[in-house]
A and B are shown apart, each in its own frame.
Chain A
Amino acid sequence: MLLELSDVEVRYGSIRALKGISVSVAEGEIVTLLGANGAGKTTTLHTISGLVRASSGSIRFDGRDIGALAPHQVVALGIGHAPEGRRIFPRMSVAENLEMGAYQRRGSLREDFERVFELFPVLAERSKQEGGTLSGGEQQMLSIGRALMSEPRLLLLDEPSMGLAPMFVTKIFHVLRDISERGVTILVVEQNAAQALALAQRGYVLETGSIAMSDQAGTLLRDPRVRAAYLGEGAA
């Protein structure tokens, strides 16, 4: 397994946001993490990238325990994170934003820029524009592009489709498949369960800090409970 969380528990003061979850992602896979608001999806990603510390349990990446590492060390190991709500640097140009993503790397970034611009041609057109003046969808692309600039082996995406028009959502999911085909492993948090499950090979369902279900994406997609809770269908 490339990434393996076992019995990870996270507390915010007295709140137990994660109550001992185990999640694993194999090399080359696309795995999705579903769940209602406040289930702990963002917390899971933050714990993996070191922004939040687990109070117990272990996180292994490529066989190595990364639970005690600082975020910049986690990035150095090859985990890119496009955080929830895009969080681009609003006053930096698109190019500068991308450069910050490659902050730890030395040498020429030409090829990396080209790769990102190939995935998101609109970013090339806007490379001098300030990040904060991009449209929401463009900001999302920039956020993903920035995470890709660190040449990650594993990409963590937190609701890449949030607030986007359906056409943009489809577009983003296409690009995610592209990225995956280039050999990047992806763990994606989504509210948009139907499309996420169509994209992913496997999925986990989080409910108030615990894993309620985990299965092949196709199986989850057909599961009546999932359909009722996350695909907006009638009674279970």
Chain B
Amino acid sequence: MSAGLQPRTGSAARFWRSTDARRLFGCVVGALVVAVMTGPSGSASAPTSGFTGSLFRPRAFVFVALGLALWAVMTFRSRFGDVVRRANDRIIATPRQLLVNRWYRYIFYLAVFAFAIWYPTILSGYWQEVLVDQIGVFVLLALGLNVVVGYAGLLDLGYIAFYAIGAYSAAYWTGALPIHPPMHLNPFWAIPLAVLAAMLAGVVLGSPTLRLRGDYLAIVTLGFGEIIQIVATNLTGVTGGSQGVIGIPHFSLHVDSLKYVWHVKALPYYYLLLVFVVIALAAFRSLERSRVGRCWAAIREDEVAAEASGINVLKYKVMAFSIGASTSGFAGILTASKIGFIEPGDFTVQLSILILVLVVFGGMGSLIGAAMGAAVLQWLPQFLRVHPLFGFQPQDLFIYLGALLVVMMIFRPAGIVPSRRRRSEIGLAEHGVGTADAMSAAGGPVA
């Protein structure tokens, strides 16, 4: 009818107007932008060197190649999305099906556990340190945050504040702070006290704020994280200020004739961490499958409906929040005692965000996912530090993490090891069903 509006076009011209072409353009330009951003910077004497240094160098090809690869994957996915998704489901399903058999599952867990005990002993000193400071501690942190974000659906952006509270409590009870405790404790015996402090902080912060629906919690926790850091910096008489605290003793254990001191070596801390990670895994798994876990799922799916069904929503939210807080607190004590030194700069908002990224990357609501996400993402930068590929600069880490997260959200929005329920919740949300928004159902169609 509208003759002449659409002249007949050749296939080349049609390609350039297609989504594929737009994607191609976006990927290549995006890659070049990343290449410039991660390349050398310009200076007053050579203002364009930032561009020339990154675009007219071989590394530009690497980035363009990466961009093209991304384009190819996206195109492939949109063409063969269903096939890919089905294959994907099968990849997830097969190990799950195998593990349905209880004995296989136990054998599998035992094998993983044995590997986790044995493998670190053959690592170099450097990697043993990384395994504790960068990986183990963050796996524990991610597991704790997974309870808050993944199970109860609460966005906690100040998670690291509880880590700080744990660390400073350990410093307090061992007498390392300028103010002195009623009695000096070995950090090992300070663990319960410091965990308690973190948990109490969680309850005190959570009880008033968790009453509010929606995004208030994110804002309040973000502020709380900042406040803790600022207090630690400025309350010099109590916390030692920006200089930090030194001389937090290592763990040691004296029970009758049994005597053990952890010292500076990483491996003993690793085994201590392993014990706590296993405890956390077991405890969180059974929580998830209990009535409590079911209530968390209900709150996450529809808070108003959960309330109307008679669930004490506040109680369960505070519970999740303080479980997360105490886990974070424990990680803080462990770090403080291992390194022997803490300073306010260790507890930045970026760190809270990083842990959130680990959980989202791994798979919100999935224990294995959160642990794997933390392990992989924390291991990767260390690996790149030792084996630099494409001129990797450690300070650019967050750029790569951001890009990775964007790619993840496109291809696997539920994380690398998604939880079954979470995955279908996200799937439904994509189809506009089952939003957790309290107001979304008001003013619906009239019969």
CB of B314 closer than 8 Å to a CB of A: yes
Q: How far is the CA of A229 from the CA of B81 in the complex (A)?
A: 52
Most buried by B among A85, A100, A164: A100
Q: Across the interface, which residues of A come within 8 angstroms of B298, CB to CB? A: 89, 92, 100
Closest beta carbon of chain A to B268's beta carbon, Å:
43
CB <8 Å contact, B447 and A91: no
Q: How far is the CA of A161 from the CA of B446 in the complex (A)?
A: 9
Q: Across the interface, which residues of A come within 8 angstroms of B307, CB to CB? A: 50-51, 71-72
CB <8 Å contact, A101 and B309: yes
Closest beta carbon of chain A to B394's beta carbon, Å:
40
CB of B443 closer than 8 Å to a CB of A: yes
CB <8 Å contact, A87 and B305: yes
CB <8 Å contact, B311 and A100: yes
CB <8 Å contact, B443 and A37: yes
Closest beta carbon of chain B to A41's beta carbon, Å:
11
Docked complex: B288-311 residues within 8 A CB-CB of A:
291, 294-295, 297-298, 301-302, 304-311
Stretch at the interface among B97-105, B175-183, B421-429: B421-429
Query: Given that A70-B314, A75-B310, A132-B428 are known contacts, is A92 also in contact with B444, CB under 8 Å in the complex?
Result: no
Interface of A, secondary structure class, is loop
Q: Which residue of A lies closest to B438 (CB)?
A: A51
CB of A29 closer than 8 Å to a CB of B: no
Neighbour of B424 across the interface among A71, A83, A87, A130, CB < 8 A = A130
Q: How far is the CA of A146 from the CA of B298 in the complex (A)?
A: 13
Most buried by B among A38, A82, A89, A192: A89
CB <8 Å contact, B312 and A91: no
CB <8 Å contact, B444 and A85: yes
Q: Across the interface, which residues of A come within 8 angstroms of B425, CB to CB? A: 90-91
CB <8 Å contact, A83 and B308: yes
Q: Which residue of B lies closest to A146 (CB)?
A: B309
Q: Which residue of B lies closest to A190 (CB)?
A: B447
Q: How far is the CA of A37 from the CA of B444 in the complex (A)?
A: 10
Query: Given that A90-B428, A164-B447 are known contacts, is A132 also in contact with B308, CB under 8 Å in the complex?
Result: no
Q: Across the interface, which residues of A come within 8 angstroms of B445, CB to CB? A: 162-163
Q: How far is the CA of A4 from the CA of B339 in the complex (A)?
A: 64
Closest beta carbon of chain B to A81's beta carbon, Å:
4
CB of A187 closer than 8 Å to a CB of B: no
Instruction: Count A interface residues, CB 8 Å.
Output: 42
CB of B83 closer than 8 Å to a CB of A: no
Neighbour of B304 across the interface among A83, A90, A104, A147, CB < 8 A = A83
Q: Across the interface, which residues of A come within 8 angstroms of B291, CB to CB? A: 103
Q: How far is the CA of A183 from the CA of B419 in the complex (A)?
A: 43
CB <8 Å contact, B447 and A162: yes
Most buried by A among B298, B313, B433: B298
Query: Given that A164-B447, A169-B447, A192-B447 are known contacts, is A89 also in contact with B305, CB under 8 Å in the complex?
Result: yes
Q: Which residue of A lies closest to B445 (CB)?
A: A163
Q: How far is the CA of A70 from the CA of B304 in the complex (A)?
A: 12
Most buried by B among A92, A146, A192: A92
Q: Across the interface, which residues of A come within 8 angstroms of B311, CB to CB? A: 72, 100, 103
Q: How far is the CA of A171 from the CA of B124 in the complex (A)?
A: 72
CB <8 Å contact, A191 and B294: no
Neighbour of B434 across the interface among A75, A84, A132, A192, CB < 8 A = A132
CB <8 Å contact, A103 and B424: no
Closest beta carbon of chain B to A131's beta carbon, Å:
9
Neighbour of B444 across the interface among A51, A75, A91, A162, CB < 8 A = A162
Q: Across the interface, which residues of B come within 8 angstroms of A83, CB to CB? A: 304-305, 308, 441
CB of A138 closer than 8 Å to a CB of B: no
CB of B5 closer than 8 Å to a CB of A: no
CB <8 Å contact, A70 and B312: yes
Interface residues, chain B, CB within 8 Å of chain A? 291, 294-295, 297-298, 301-302, 304-314, 421, 424-425, 428, 433-434, 440-447
Interface pairs (6), CB distance under 8 Å: A37-B446, A51-B308, A71-B313, A81-B308, A100-B298, A164-B447
* Sample of 4 more A-B contacts, CB < 8 Å, known A89-B301, A103-B310: A70-B312, A83-B308, A84-B444, A86-B441
